[in-house]
Amino acid sequence: MSVQMEHDKTAYEEVHPSNAIAGGRRPDPPNALASTMAFAHRALLRIKHVPEQMFDVTVFPIIFLLMFTYLFGGAIAGSTGEYLQFLLPGILVMTVSQITMYTGIDLNNDIRKGIFDRFRTLPIWLPSALVGALLVDVIRYSLASAIMIGLGLALGFRPEGGAIGVLGAVLVILLFSFSFSWIWTAAGIIMRSEKSLMMVSFLVVFPLTFVSNVFVDPSTLPSWLQGFVNINPISILATAVRGLMHGNGTWEQFGWVVVVSAIFVVIFAPLTMYLYRRKE
Amino acid sequence: METRNVERQANGLAVEAAGLVKIYGKERAVDGVDLAIPSGTVYGFLGPNGAGKTTTIRMLATLIQPDAGSATIFGHDLKTESAAIKSRISLTGQYASIDEDLTGIENLVLISRLMGYPVKEAKQRAAELLSAFGLEGAAKRQVKKYSGGMRRRIDIAASIVVTPDLLFLDEPTTGLDPRSRNQVWEIVRALVQAGTTVLLTTQNLEEADQLADRIAVINQGKIIAEGTSSELKASVGTGTLNVQLLDAADQAQAAAILERKLCVPVHVSTDGVTLSAQAKDSSIVAQALGELGEEKIGISDFSLGRPSLDEVFLTLTGQSASNQPIEEENS
């Protein structure tokens, strides 16, 4: 440590600001792809420096899967093995949907720390700041999915759709999650603090994921509740994912996920960018 | 790659603003600011917290939209040509506008890439900046582990990855030790030499004095005085005479003498023994002190200070800057 301090002192002396002036070269502003890649790289570096943030995509899924399988398995399906076949696709959908909210929290932190101001004065395609981060989030979601599916297989999950079906299901989840994340980016800009953002996220995410067909067959529910469960985007996604994993998916189920995802992007991506530009 | 070219507008102005207004709730944070800042100069905004300095800068840097008024940056309209403006300006905010979890070099490579450098050149440029700012040794350390001065330097480095034509520096030296402050001043001077126009805010008259060609004194959203450093100082006098009495009982008599000699109101501080007054001329000060002696008024201490921001305020507004409500600027 003392060696490090010594080093600081020498560095302290040597400031040659005239060497910092960029010579006769002024690059053209980056295109959308280049700036998106730069922001994606930043998100990867953040994972490297703040590995704790991977907790939510590694530990949560494991806890959720074990907890719900053994808690509800006997009561709902007669056996945990049987229940796992029904539960795994759903719990995967639920977990990944829940961790999408961290996207908003990261953005909210950027805004409060001031780096947001710098990005906004750069001559770049502004959405790249968010798209770059969301692309890396997709990697996080993939990791969470891989962990859950791996654990599920170890516990006795046997998808009839085979590897292709499972892969297809994961891709559908990623499409949905990328689209769903735009809700949190919008919320992340509006909310004043991380705390209030967390609260709002939980208020949305918990009812949405629990009051769905993730845990139980909706036909056992009172009819007024069935109505909500059936139009709940999480149910729509869970149905498509189950279909793909168990080899009985339909284009209609897939089509609905695409429609729901498109609706999220069409509404919340422009809203996010509007708020991003106008944020004071 | 386009050659760096500090093109001068027909009128030679980097910033021209008329009647800028920003309202937050009921408060007029910026209340009709007019500016004409010549290219290639340093312009200082001097004022206390909450005066509207930051809000004005954020409007000029395209971060927030004015509620009224208009401005051009190098002839580009603030409202309609923000893209053209963004490619020529840079902002170093009051709070570190870099990613503190990333290392110094990672931050500068990121910004270099976002300014349009290909990855390889971005790395070269980042290394160049780190070495110029004495941060080579800290290149691979996370910025959150930097000292205040280092943080400020990396923040400014990030702002000049591509040397901007106009650089906004919001309180660049607040909270820095004198040495780090001098380093920031050196950086500002080097930039100006290279042709950059610098608009900086400060609460410190000495800083404005050292760096700025022209200074605008801002209070409650309005520019209350504008001019060169010497013009402003002339309006304040040589400085403030502070006299400390041995006995508070002499206060009224001493105040009367000073008031008569210096022809300005005398302020008595709450301790009852310290009197202060603006002094225009040191010979008059000597006479006033002499007369206190003749009247056998005991003095424990006296000083003739150079004008401080507080005194500029006292003179210009009739109220003390430190009596202003201290509040965070709206951001």
Here the tokens at position A258 are 């695409």
Residue A124 DSSP one-character state: S
Chain position carrying tokens 């692309």: A135
Mean pLDDT of chain A: 88
Number of neighbouring beta carbons within 10 Å of residue A214: 26
What average pLDDT does the segment B217-231 reach?
88
Quote the percentage of chain B above a pLDDT of 70: 89
Q: For residue A18, which residues of chain B lie inside 8 Å, CB to CB?
A: 132, 190, 193-194
Separation in Å, CA A144 to CA A85, A141, A174, A239, B271: 18, 5, 11, 19, 67
The predicted structure's pLDDT at residue A89: 92
| Per-residue model confidence (pLDDT) at position B209 | 85
- Report pLDDT digits (tens) over B240-254: 788 888 888 888 888
Q: Is residue A19 less than 8 Å (CB to CB) from chain B? A: yes
Cross-chain CB nearest to B101 (options A15, A16, A46): A46
- pLDDT for A249: 87
Averaged confidence pLDDT in chain B = 86
Is the pLDDT score of A271 beyond 80? Answer: yes
Q: How far apart are CA A90 and CA A17, in angstroms?
A: 58
| Option in B87, B110, B186 nearest A29 (CB) | B87
Residue B323 has pLDDT above 80, yes or no: no
Residues 89-118 of A with CB under 8 A from B: 113-118
Residue B319 pLDDT > 70, yes or no?
Answer: no
CA distance B130 to B146: 13
Q: How many CA atoms lie within 13 A of B104 on its CB side?
A: 27
Measure in Å the smallest separation between the Cα of A56 and chain B Cα atoms. Answer: 19
User: How far is it, in rounded angstroms, from Cα A125 to Cα A36?
Assistant: 9
Instruction: Find out whether B97 and B91 touch, Cβ atoms under 8 Å.
Output: yes
Cβ–Cβ gap A122/B114 under 8 Å: yes
Among the residue ranges B176-185, B228-237, B260-269, the one predicted with the least confidence is: B228-237
Provide the pLDDT for residue B11.
Answer: 62
- Average pLDDT over every residue of A85-110: 90
Contact B304, B279 (CB under 8 A): yes
Q: Which of the residues A4, A42, A106, A109 would you substitute to probe the B interface, choosing the one with the greatest number of B C-beta atoms within 10 Å? A: A42
- As a whole number of angstroms, the distance between CA B67 and CA A125 comes to 25
B155/B162 Cα distance (integer angstroms): 13
Q: Is A54 on the interface with B (CB under 8 A)?
A: no
Q: What is the pTM of this model?
A: 0.81
Name the residue of chain B whose CA is nearest to A279's CA: B64
Tell me which chain B residues have a C-beta less than 8 angstroms from the C-beta of A280. 58, 63-64, 330-331
By mean pLDDT, which of A50-64, B180-194, B253-267, B316-330 is the weakest? Answer: B316-330
Q: Write out the H or E segment, with its range, that includes residue B83.
A: helix B82-86
Question: What confidence score (pLDDT) does residue B306 get?
Answer: 66
**Matching residue, tokens 């990005």:** A119
Task: Supply the Cα-derived Rg of chain A in whole angstroms.
Answer: 22
Tell if the CB–CB gap between B113 and A34 is shorter than 8 Å.
yes
Assigned token pair, A190: 């509006």
Of chain B, the percentage scoring pLDDT greater than 90 comes to: 52
Sign (positive/negative) of CA torsion B198, B70, B27, A190? negative
Distance, CA of B243 to CA of B191 (rounded, Å): 42
Tokens representing residue A180 in the block:
């769903």
- Chain B residues with CB-CB distance to A34 below 8 A: 113, 116
**How many CB pairs lie under 8 A apart between chains A and B?**
163
- State the first-to-last Cα distance of chain A, in angstroms, to the nearest integer: 41
CB B137 within 8 A of CB A10: yes
Pick from A247-251, B236-240, B317-321: least confident: B317-321
Identify which of B101, B121, B190 has the shortest CB distance to residue A18.
B190
pLDDT at position A24: 59
**CB contact at 8 A, A123 and B113:** no
What residues of chain B lie within 8 A of the CB of A11, using their CB?
A: 134-138
Q: Three-state DSSP class for B330?
A: coil
**What pLDDT, on the 0 to 100 scale, is given for residue A173?**
96
Residue B310: what pLDDT? 67
Smallest CA–CA distance from B126 into chain A, residue: A20
Residues whose CB is less than 8 angstroms from the CB of residue A43 and which lie 6 or more positions away in sequence, other chains included: A132, A133, A135, A136, A137
The predicted model gives B280-293 an average pLDDT of 84
Q: What is the ipTM of this complex?
A: 0.85
Q: Which percentage of chain A shows pLDDT scores above 70?
A: 94
**Chain A residues touching B100 at Cβ < 8 A:** 113
- List Cβ neighbours of A26 (8 Å cut-off, separation of 6 or more): B1, B2, B3, B4, B162
Residue B3: CB atoms within 10 Å: 8
Query: Does B154 have pLDDT greater than 50?
Result: yes
Closest among B294, B293, B302, B295 to B273, alpha carbons compared:
B302
Tens digits of per-residue pLDDT, A170-194? 999 999 999 999 999 999 999 989 8
Task: Kindly report which listed range (A141-145, A157-161, B42-46, B92-96) carries the lowest average pLDDT score.
Answer: B92-96
Across the interface, of A15, A28, A124, the residue whose CB is closest to B114 is A124
Mean predicted confidence (pLDDT) in A82-99: 90
Annotate A140-160 with b (16+ C-beta within 10 A) or e (fewer).
bbbebbebbbebbeeeebebe
Whether the pLDDT of residue B326 is over 60: the answer is no
Q: Is the dihedral of CA A109, A112, A114, A116 positive or negative?
A: positive
Rounded Cα gap, residues B75 and B37, in angstroms:
12
Specify the pLDDT at position B236. 67
* Residue B318, pLDDT score: 64
Whether the CB of A280 is below 8 Å from some CB of chain B: the reply is yes
For chain A, give the percent of residues with pLDDT over 90. Answer: 51
- Specify the pLDDT at position B272: 82
Contact state of A42 with B102 under an 8 Å Cβ cutoff: yes
A4: confidence class by pLDDT, cuts 50, 70, 90: very low
Tell me the C-alpha distance between B21 and A280, whole Å: 15
Q: Encode pLDDT of A199-215 as tens digits.
A: 998 898 888 988 999 88
Most confident of A263-277, B201-215, B256-270: A263-277
Query: Mean pLDDT, to the nearest integer, of B310-329?
Result: 57
State in Å, rounded, how far the first CA of chain B is from the last one. Answer: 35
Nearest to B106 among A45, A116, A122 (CB): A45
Task: Please count the helices (runs of H) and the strands (runs of E) in chain A.
Answer: 12, 0
**pLDDT reading at A32 higher than 90:** yes
